[in-house]
Amino acid sequence: MIRHLVTALGFVAASFTVSPAIAQTAPDTLIVLDGSGSMWGQIDGRTKIDIARETLSSVLSEVSPSMNIGMIAYGHRVRGQCSDIETLVPMGPAGQTVPRMIDAANRISPRGMTPLSDAVRKAAEEMLYTERAATVVLITDGIETCDADPCALGRELEAAGIDFTAHVVGFGLTGDEGRQVACLAENTGGRYVPAGDADQLVDALRDTIMADENDFVEEEEDFVEEEPAPPARRRVEFTFRDAADGPKLQVNELHIVIEPRGEAAYDEWLGWRHERDYTAEGMFDPGVYDVIVIREKDRATLRARFEIEVPEGGDTLVVDRAIAARLKVNTLVHAGQRIEHGKGVRTANKRGTGYGVYELVPVSGGVADEGARIGFAYRADLDIAIGPGDYVLRGTFARSITREKLISIAPGETKEIDFDFELARVWVEFRDAGGFPAARPYTRASDKPAGSAFFASGRDVMNNEKLPWYLPVGSWRLETGHEGSGGKRAQLVVTVARPGEEITLSPTEGQRLSDADIARMSDGGRTGCLGFGGTEHGRNACIVEKVEFSAGLQPGSDEVSIDGQPNPYANEDTGTSAPLPPGIYGLVERAGFDLANGADISEAVAICAMSPFVAYPDGYVQSKVRSPVADATGIPYRTSIIGQCKAIDGGASCRMWQPEAPDSVQTREFSVTPAADGHVRLVNRTRGNQEGMLYACVRQGGEMSATETLPDGRRAIDHIMSRADGGPELSYSDSGEYLGSRAVEARPPSPAPEPGGDFGAIAGLYGRLGSSGEPKQGDDLLDACYYNGLVLYAGGFAQGFRENISAETREGTTTPPVASMHMMCRGTAQVAACDARQGAYPDGAPVPAPIQLASKPGDMIELCVSGDCFSMQQCRDPRAAFAGDLPAPDGRHWLDHILTRPDGGPGLERAGRP
């Protein structure tokens, strides 16, 4: 059986035979790609870099696999540096380099200058242009910006080269700009090809990248031996869709596996993105084939398997298949009001704007699998690809009201439903004993006649805008008044009779529940909360509609069929068997790794030391990174990736995420093949069958010592094996023999470094600004300081915190925010470097790169981590600003909890700052 895995890049090597007497070798070719900041410019509504990526993928998939080709880029790493030139993929056979070239192009983020002359010179020198034929294809959307003369460079390279040619593709250049770079091509006998849009860029790249290859393939029939005629093959066009009536899917969105049965075979396979109105095409022998299609979309992995038969014939066979289904959800506040996608509605329920946020929970055998739920944060509507089957669709409005509905969706179906939260609008207009409205009116809602169990709270007025409450049918207790006014508040009961109702309430200070109100709230037959919970951003919301399978709502069949074939991925075993042999590895993510090559081994050992990958017997995996702040923190490695793997046919399926970003879950599937001495070869099925090697770092006779001791007295491998989840670690003898797993005792946290510097001029309480960096005023600034704030002390210690949304508040109190990070800064108030750690002092994993802190005009500071920067604005005189706020549950003002240093050092007030 011939197996052919179709990568997401659509690249396949077609085999052919040419007599050595008539084939000459095409010159080596290096593509020089413009990664300068101007590539973010747009043509026909799309960025130039996106167009360049797609056209490169298309054209490179057509080159001969034996052609030597590679890629250089410039201007893609740093701003303002003419030296930013990098060889992304060294020259090699296209069969090996093209997938890496396309992957490298997809990862480029334009940002810098245009040193095109130096980049072309570097390409020529790497190809030894003075010793053999060489071709450079320059793709640029701008002229030279680094004080060099491309015309003079062309003359120089032509004079010194054996057979040097430079082709230039001017992408979106004006006529004058084109003339300034065309001379580079003309002076080397190459071509200048202008391209004004995506189609022209495809043609230009074909004319240049493949020009020399076509020139060097000659046919001379006198020297060709006749070969048997190939089997009669039929052209097949494949179109894959999420649903039967959906748009065609592009090949880069899919992982496709075609398995011929019997003696059938196929060849000349091409996958398409935007260039064709079908997904892929190929030439197939008559016969039967199994087709498996895998797609990752909206946090879900969609899989389909079906059979196709290719009968004999001369025309094109069209295969059009739906691989999943599609779900469209329209969000309704009530039957007469729909929420526009992404916009939300203004509401007092939570923070001013309410959205419909959803989760899908798969149902199997009458049971909802909460562990497999898929969340869709901050979407007022859904339009998603989803596997066919039965689901609980859970929606939460404004983090406060949750409903559940049971839905069933068939293979290939597009199902559109209206998710109606059935809410009424309630206006609360509180006035104090003197008849005056509150300056900061604040209301909370409960389904209990008394107590502090409130499922929603918020301000009725924000920035002089009156906001309504949205409540479902039922009776609800409201507590309202000026924020922080304690007993000077009012309590009342509101009864909502129907969705869409408009209710206005006018409570006054001191108002309390009447006996009739208490009776209404205590009536066991009234409508209230069925429980508390919801989607990711509403775990304490009031549940007013819940799917109860025990009440007779039974879903459909457990197993879904696709095109008449059982879905092989339904009801997957979620056990914890270890698909990867336990051990410490160096993950080398490239093809061609040779266990007998000294350079390859050196590369792997360096990875073992700097970014080791650990697999445990229970399927838990983690990747670590050598920390640049190891000396200061005493923790030489930080955990960068964690995950859980399970065995699948021929390999492993792993769900992996970043510890500091639990929403960053990605599923990866690997083929796993054991190699000699404990090493493991991998093929990443979800990344275009990218090949890789798990190099066994610690083993008997291995290069990495099991006895190396770090300055803290612990072995290096003990630091590496320390699990992020606290589970059992691995154990090795001093000779490197694996001894199995071992339980570990909890270790005390390492001490944090001491701060140093004078930050008295900027010490204070700060709130994080939005991505625009625009200053805030009034309540908006106070909210920023409460919900996402940072306290910077005069000595350089700082702590950041966020709103404690998981805590249950007591009546008449406000729960203080929780610590999210802390850092130690050294330097001056103008500029400083800070070592940061996640969580509360002194625990938490170290942030790998130092945070740069700088003061800005207007009571602001700027924090930058690895080039990503954001601004924070000082909340001046916080005592006065938050004077009317509620106390914390222990009776102290919540601000006292924030301004008190956890390390015992001088606080803001003792440091002379308010």
CATH, residue 238 = 2.60.40
- Report residue 390 as tokens: 């039965």
Q: Which of 368, 389, 395, 373 is nearest to 553 (CA)?
A: 368
- Is 40 contained in some domain? yes
pLDDT surpasses 60 at 748: no
| 113 three-state secondary structure | coil
Residue 359, CA distances (Å) to 151, 267, 403, 548 in order: 60, 42, 11, 17
Q: What confidence tier does 563 reach under pLDDT thresholds 50, 70, 90?
A: very low
- Report residue 218 as tokens: 């000659």
Residue 495 CA to residue 526 CA, distance in Å, equals 10
Helix, strand, coil share (%) of the chain residues, nearest 5? 15, 40, 45
CATH, residue 95 = 3.40.50.410
What's the confidence (pLDDT) of residue 428?
A: 93
| 691 three-state secondary structure | strand
What's the confidence (pLDDT) of residue 473?
A: 92
pLDDT surpasses 80 at 254: yes
pLDDT surpasses 50 at 766: yes
pLDDT surpasses 60 at 576: no
- Is 35 contained in some domain? yes
C-alpha gyration radius of the chain: 32
Residue 672 CA to residue 650 CA, distance in Å, equals 6
Query: Which residues fall within 8 angstroms of residue 628, CB to CB, at 6 or more apart?
Result: 848, 849, 850
Residue 442 CA to residue 482 CA, distance in Å, equals 6
pLDDT surpasses 50 at 574: no
Buried (b) or exposed (e) across 376-405, using 16+ Cβ within 10 A? beebbbbebbbbbbbbbbbbbbbbbbbbbb
- For 816-870, give the secondary structure using H, E and C: CCEEEEEEEEEEECCEEEEEEEECCCCCCCECCCCEEEEEECCCEEEEEECCEEE
240 and 206 in a single domain? The answer is no
What does the pLDDT look like over 85-102, one tens digit per residue? Answer: 999 888 888 888 888 888
Side-chain half-sphere exposure of 423, counting CA atoms within 13 A: 29
pTM of the model: 0.42
- Is 636 contained in some domain? yes
The number of beta carbons lying within 10 Å of the beta carbon of residue 466 is 14
What does the pLDDT look like over 403-412, one tens digit per residue? Answer: 999 998 888 8
Q: What's the rounded mean pLDDT across residues 144-156?
A: 90
What does the pLDDT look like over 6-17, one tens digit per residue? Answer: 222 222 222 222
What's the confidence (pLDDT) of residue 381?
A: 80
Quick one: which H or E segment has residue 472?
Answer: strand 469-472
- Is 621 contained in some domain? yes
828 and 869 in a single domain? The answer is yes
Quick one: which H or E segment has residue 249?
Answer: none
Query: Which residues fall within 8 angstroms of residue 471, CB to CB, at 6 or more apart?
Result: 401, 423, 424, 426, 445, 494, 496
Residue 671 burial class via C-beta count within 10 angstroms: exposed 0-12, middle 13-18, buried 19 and up = middle
| 519 three-state secondary structure | helix
- Is 288 contained in some domain? yes
Q: Which of 529, 564, 594 is the last residue of a domain?
A: 529
What's the confidence (pLDDT) of residue 707?
A: 81
What's the confidence (pLDDT) of residue 598?
A: 83
Looking at the 3D structure of the chain, how many domains does it have? 5
The number of beta carbons lying within 10 Å of the beta carbon of residue 145 is 15
| 383 three-state secondary structure | strand
Answer yes or no: are the C-beta atoms of 861 and 765 closer than 8 Å: no
CATH, residue 716 = 2.40.128
pLDDT surpasses 50 at 298: yes
723 and 763 in a single domain? The answer is no
What does the pLDDT look like over 648-689, one tens digit per residue? Answer: 777 888 888 777 665 566 778 888 888 888 899 998 877 767
- % of the chain at pLDDT higher than 70: 85
724 and 766 in a single domain? The answer is no
648 and 523 in a single domain? The answer is no
Whose tokens are 């209230």? That residue is 528
Q: What confidence tier does 469 reach under pLDDT thresholds 50, 70, 90?
A: very high
CATH, residue 443 = 2.60.40.1120
Domain span at residue 513 reads: 424-529
What's the confidence (pLDDT) of residue 435?
A: 87
What's the confidence (pLDDT) of residue 501?
A: 93
623 and 762 in a single domain? The answer is no
| 48 three-state secondary structure | helix
What's the confidence (pLDDT) of residue 703?
A: 80
178 and 35 in a single domain? The answer is yes
Q: What confidence tier does 810 reach under pLDDT thresholds 50, 70, 90?
A: low
Please report how the helices 48-60 and 94-107 are oriented relative to each other, as an axis angle in degrees rounded to 10. 170
Quick one: which H or E segment has residue 610?
Answer: helix 598-610
What's the confidence (pLDDT) of residue 487?
A: 64
Q: Which of 435, 667, 486 is nearest to 572 (CA)?
A: 667
209 and 246 in a single domain? The answer is no
Provide the H-helix boundaries in 709-797: 716-721, 778-787
What does the pLDDT look like over 472-519, one tens digit per residue? Answer: 999 999 999 887 666 678 899 999 999 999 999 999 988 888 888 888
Task: Provide the 8-state DSSP code for 896.
Answer: H
pLDDT surpasses 50 at 802: yes
Task: Provide the 8-state DSSP code for 661.
Answer: E
Amino acid identity for residue 830 in this structure: Q
CA angle 582, 586, 589 (to 5 degrees): 115
The number of beta carbons lying within 10 Å of the beta carbon of residue 682 is 22
- Report residue 278 as tokens: 């079908």
Query: Which residues fall within 8 angstroms of residue 80, CB to CB, at 6 or more apart?
Result: 112, 113
- Is 349 contained in some domain? no
- Stated length of the chain: 914
Give the end-to-end CA distance of the chain in Å, rounded to a whole number: 77
What mean pLDDT is reported for the chain?
A: 80
What does the pLDDT look like over 265-278, one tens digit per residue? Answer: 887 778 888 778 89
Residue 620 CA to residue 114 CA, distance in Å, equals 45
- Is 683 contained in some domain? yes
What's the confidence (pLDDT) of residue 4?
A: 29
pLDDT surpasses 60 at 782: yes
What's the confidence (pLDDT) of residue 211?
A: 64
The number of beta carbons lying within 10 Å of the beta carbon of residue 630 is 17
- Is 30 contained in some domain? yes
94 and 207 in a single domain? The answer is yes
657 and 772 in a single domain? The answer is no
210 and 63 in a single domain? The answer is yes
pLDDT surpasses 80 at 387: yes
76 and 200 in a single domain? The answer is yes
- % of the chain at pLDDT higher than 90: 18
Residue 301, CA distances (Å) to 201, 210, 265, 385, 524 in order: 33, 37, 28, 10, 44
Q: Which of 485, 514, 529 is the last residue of a domain?
A: 529
Amino acid identity for residue 712 in this structure: D
Q: What's the rounded mean pLDDT across residues 876-890?
A: 78
Residue 319 CA to residue 258 CA, distance in Å, equals 13
Q: Which of 505, 529, 553 is the last residue of a domain?
A: 529
What's the confidence (pLDDT) of residue 12?
A: 27
What's the confidence (pLDDT) of residue 583?
A: 92
CA angle 729, 733, 739 (to 5 degrees): 50
What's the confidence (pLDDT) of residue 289?
A: 92
